[in-house]
C-alpha cells in the first residue's frame, strides 16, 4: 500500500471524529483521510465542508482510496458499503459489531471471493486487542472459556448502581453514558444486551471457530434490575455485571450475554465504569485477563487505527479455527446457577433442578438454584419485563 495511505471514511460521529482527531494528533502515522461520507445534509460539522460527501460512490469508486473505514451506525447500510467496497477491491476496516455478527458467513465469502481483507478489532471491546489475540495466539483446543465485560454502557450503569446505592441512579447513569459518547445511538442495544450478544458471536467465532446465530445467544438485559438485586448480590459477596460468556462443555459451546453475580474476589468484579475486561481460561496458561477502555471515540479509534496499520504489513484474519476439524457446536443444554427475582407464580414456574435459596420478602421474592440454561431461557420469567434474571458465577 502506498504512503501516505489514503483512507475513505464513512461516518463522522463519536468514532469517526475520534479517528480524525487521533490521526491529526499523531504525525508519522503515514495515513490520511481523503474523504468522509456522512448522511445528514443539514448537520453542522466541526471541519470544513469540502471534506465531506453524501455519495458513497465518491469514496468506493475513488481509485486513490486504499482503505475504506466504515464507522456508521446503520448495520444494513454498513453491509452494503462494505460489500461494494470489497467488490471494488478495497481493504475494509469496520467497528460495526451488529453488521459483523449478523453477516459473518457473507463477510467470510466476500473475503474469499474478492481477496480483500476485512478487519474489525474495534467491534469487540473497543481498545482491547482481543480478536487479533484470539486469532494469533490461542490454539483452539487449549481455550476452555472466555468471559467478558464487553459493554461499556451497562458496566457504567451497574457501577453507579452498586456504588451509589442504586436509588434513582439508572436513568441518570444512562444519560451520562450517552453524553460521554459510549452509549450506542440506540441505547436499547446496550441495556437489553443486544450489543453484548453481537460481541459474543464474534468472540465465539475467533475463540472457538464456531459461527453461531446471534439469536442463539442466551441474552437478557439489565432494565429490570432493582436496588434490591444489587443488595442481594452484595450480601453474597458479589457485584452484578453484564457478562458475555462462552464456555466449552462436553464438546459443545454455550453462549450467554446476561447479568451475572460476580464474586468480589474475581478480577472481573473490580472492572468498573466504561472499562471492559476479558478473561480467557485455557488449559495450561490458566486464567488471563485483558482490561481496557471498551467504548468512546479515542479508545475505539485506537483499535481502528491499529487495524489500518496492520493492513500495511498485509495482515488479515486467517480464520484457521473455523477450518479446524473439531469445531464445537452450540449447546445451551447445560446447567447453570441462576438468581431470579419476581412475582411468586413466575419464579415458581421455572423448572428448577435444585433450589438452594427461596426467599419471600416485602422487597421481592427470589429463588437461587440450578436450572438448565435453555429451560431458563424458555421460561416466562426470562421474557417478563418486571422479573430480574441473573446467573451466579461460581468460578
Ligand X SMILES: NC(=O)c1ccc[n+]([C@@H]2O[C@H](COP(=O)([O-])OP(=O)(O)OC[C@H]3O[C@@H](n4cnc5c(N)ncnc54)[C@H](OP(=O)(O)O)[C@@H]3O)[C@@H](O)[C@H]2O)c1
Could you give the C-alpha distances from 11 to 29, 93, 158, 273, in angstroms and in order?
21, 12, 29, 26
Q: How far is CA 251 from CA 60, 169, 334, in A?
A: 43, 42, 12
Considering the complex, state which of residue 71 and residue 146 has its C-beta at the smaller distance from ligand X. Answer: 71
C-alpha cell at 341: 427475582
Cβ burial of 124 (10 Å; 0-12, 13-18, 19+) is: buried
Minimum separation from the CB atom of position 189 to ligand X (A)? 8
Q: Under the criterion CB under 6 A, does residue 39 sit at the interface with ligand X?
A: yes
| Minimum gap (Å) between residue 43 Cβ and ligand X | 5
Q: Which residues 65-104 are close enough to bind ligand X by CB under 6 A?
A: 71-74, 77, 95-97
Give the integer Cα–Cα distance in Å for 74 and 11.
10
Q: How far is the CB of 2 from ligand X (least distance, A)?
A: 25
When binding is defined by CB under 6 A, the residue of 22, 23, 38, 233 that contacts ligand X is 38
Cβ proximity to ligand X, 306 vs 370, nearer residue: 306
Backbone conformation region of residue 19, classed left if phi is above 0, alpha if psi is from -120 to 50, else beta: alpha
Is the CB of residue 277 less than 8 Å from the CB of residue 148?
yes
Please, what is the minimum distance in Å from the beta carbon of residue 34 to ligand X? 15
| Residue positions annotated with a catalytic role | 199
Only one residue has cell 475520534, namely: 18
What is the distance between the alpha carbons of residues 392 and 341, in angstroms, rounded to a whole number?
A: 13
Cα(210)–Cα(323) distance, integer angstroms: 10
Between 79 and 352, name the residue whose CB sits nearer to ligand X: 79
The window from 8-16, 142-150, 277-285, 378-386 that contacts ligand X (CB under 6 A) reads 8-16
- Which of 6, 8, 9, 10 touches ligand X by CB under 6 A? 10
Residue 87: CB minimum distance to ligand X, A: 17
Residue 300, interface with ligand X (CB under 6 A)? yes
Among residues 8, 9, 14, 311, the one that binds ligand X under rule CB under 6 A: 14
Judged by beta carbon, residue 181 or residue 328, the one nearer ligand X is: 181
Q: What is the largest CA-CA distance in the chain?
A: 68
Interface with ligand X: number of residues (CB under 6 A): 29
Sites of contact with ligand X (CB under 6 A): 10-16, 37-40, 43, 71-74, 77, 95-97, 122, 126, 181-182, 184-185, 295-296, 300
Amino acid at each position: 500500500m502506498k504512503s501516505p495511505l489514503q483512507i475513505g471514511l464513512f461516518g463522522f460521529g463519536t468514532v469517526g471524529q475520534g479517528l480524525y482527531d487521533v490521526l491529526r494528533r499523531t504525525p508519522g502515522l503515514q495515513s490520511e483521510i481523503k474523504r468522509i461520507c456522512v448522511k445528514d445534509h443539514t448537520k453542522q460539522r466541526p471541519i470544513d465542508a469540502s471534506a465531506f460527501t453524501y455519495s458513497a460512490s465518491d469514496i468506493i469508486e475513488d481509485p486513490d482510496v486504499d482503505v475504506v473505514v466504515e464507522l456508521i451506525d446503520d448495520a444494513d447500510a454498513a453491509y452494503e458499503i462494505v460489500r461494494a467496497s470489497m467488490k471494488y477491491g478495497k481493504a475494509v476496516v469496520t467497528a460495526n459489531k451488529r453488521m459483523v455478527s449478523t453477516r459473518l458467513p457473507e463477510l467470510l465469502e466476500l473475503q474469499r471471493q474478492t481477496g480483500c481483507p476485512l478487519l474489525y478489532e474495534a467491534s469487540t471491546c473497543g481498545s482491547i486487542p482481543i480478536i487479533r489475540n484470539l486469532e494469533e495466539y490461542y490454539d483452539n483446543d487449549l481455550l476452555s472459556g472466555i468471559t467478558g465485560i464487553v459493554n461499556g454502557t451497562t458496566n457504567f450503569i451497574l457501577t453507579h448502581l452498586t456504588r451509589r446505592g442504586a436509588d434513582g441512579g439508572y436513568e441518570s447513569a444512562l444519560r451520562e453514558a450517552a453524553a460521554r459518547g459510549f452509549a450506542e445511538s440506540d441505547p436499547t442495544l446496550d441495556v437489553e444486551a443486544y450489543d453484548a450478544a453481537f460481541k459474543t458471536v464474534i468472540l465465539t467465532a475467533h475463540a472457538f471457530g464456531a459461527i453461531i446465530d446471534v439469536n442463539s445467544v442466551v441474552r437478557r438485559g439489565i432494565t429490570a434490575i432493582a436496588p434490591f438485586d444489587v443488595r442481594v448480590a452484595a450480601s453474597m459477596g458479589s457485584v452484578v455485571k453484564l457478562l458475555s460468556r462462552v464456555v466449552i462443555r462436553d464438546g459443545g459451546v454455550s453462549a450467554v450475554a446476561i447479568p451475572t453475580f460476580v464474586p468480589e474476589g474475581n478480577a472481573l468484579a473490580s472492572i468498573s465504569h466504561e472499562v471492559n475486561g476479558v478473561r480467557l481460561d485455557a488449559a495450561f496458561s490458566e486464567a488471563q485477563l485483558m482490561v481496557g477502555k471498551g467504548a468512546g471515540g479515542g479508545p475505539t479509534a485506537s483499535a481502528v487505527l491499529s487495524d489500518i496499520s496492520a493492513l500495511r504489513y498485509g495482515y488479515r484474519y486467517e480464520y484457521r479455527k473455523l477450518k479446524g476439524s473439531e469445531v464445537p457446536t452450540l449447546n445451551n443444554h447445560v446447567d447453570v446457577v441462576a438468581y431470579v427475582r419476581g412475582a411468586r407464580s413466575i419464579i415458581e414456574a421455572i423448572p428448577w433442578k435444585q433450589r438452594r435459596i427461596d426467599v419471600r420478602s416485602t422487597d421481592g421474592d427470589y429463588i437461587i438454584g440450578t436450572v438448565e440454561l435453555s429451560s431458563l431461557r424458555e421460561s416466562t420469567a426470562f421474557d417478563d419485563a418486571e422479573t430480574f434474571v441473573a446467573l451466579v458465577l461460581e468460578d
